[in-house]
Structure 1
Amino acid sequence: MDSAKYVARIDSLCTGGPAAEHGGSDVLMAGPGYTIVSLEMSPASWTGDREGRVRTLEDFYALKDHIAALLDTRWGARRPWWMGTLVVRIDRGEPIPEPWTTISTLVDELDLWQPTGTDRWLALGVLEGEMDDEVHLLALITETDPP
Structure 2
Amino acid sequence: MTSAERLRVIDDLRGRTFPARRERTAAGESGPGFHVVRLWESSPLWDADPADAREIREDCAAELTALTAVLSLRWGEPAVLELSGALERAAMGLPVRPPLDILCGLVPRLHTWQEAGRRVAVGAGQGGPEQPYQLLAAITDPGALRSLD
TM-score by length of 2: 0.80
Identity %: 29
Q: 3-state SS of the aligned residue for 1:80? A: strand
Could you say if the C-alpha distance between residues 122 and 29 of structure 1 is closer, same or farther in structure 2, counting changes exceeding 3 Å? same
Counterpart position of 2:82: 82
Alignment-mate amino acid for residue 103 of structure 1: L
Residue 59 (structure 2) pairs with residue 59 (structure 1): yes
**Matched residues in 1 for 2:41 and 2:93: separation?**
33
Q: How many equivalent residue pairs? A: 143
Residue 10 (structure 2) pairs with residue 18 (structure 1): no
Residue 85 of structure 1: CA displacement? 3.1
Tell whether the 8 Å contact from 2:27 to 2:38 is kept in structure 1 after alignment: yes
**Matched residues in 1 for 2:130 and 2:139: separation?**
27
Matches within 5 A, 1:33-72: 33-72=33-72
Alignment-mate amino acid for residue 101 of structure 1: D
TM-score by length of 1: 0.81
Residue 25 of structure 1: CA displacement? 5.7
Alignment-mate amino acid for residue 9 of structure 2: R
Q: 3-state SS of the aligned residue for 2:128? A: coil
Counterpart position of 1:130: 128
Q: Which runs of 4+ in 1 moved over 4 A?
A: 23-26, 88-96
Q: Which runs of 5+ in 2 are unaligned?
A: none
CA RMSD of aligned residues (A): 2.7
Alignment-mate amino acid for residue 86 of structure 2: L
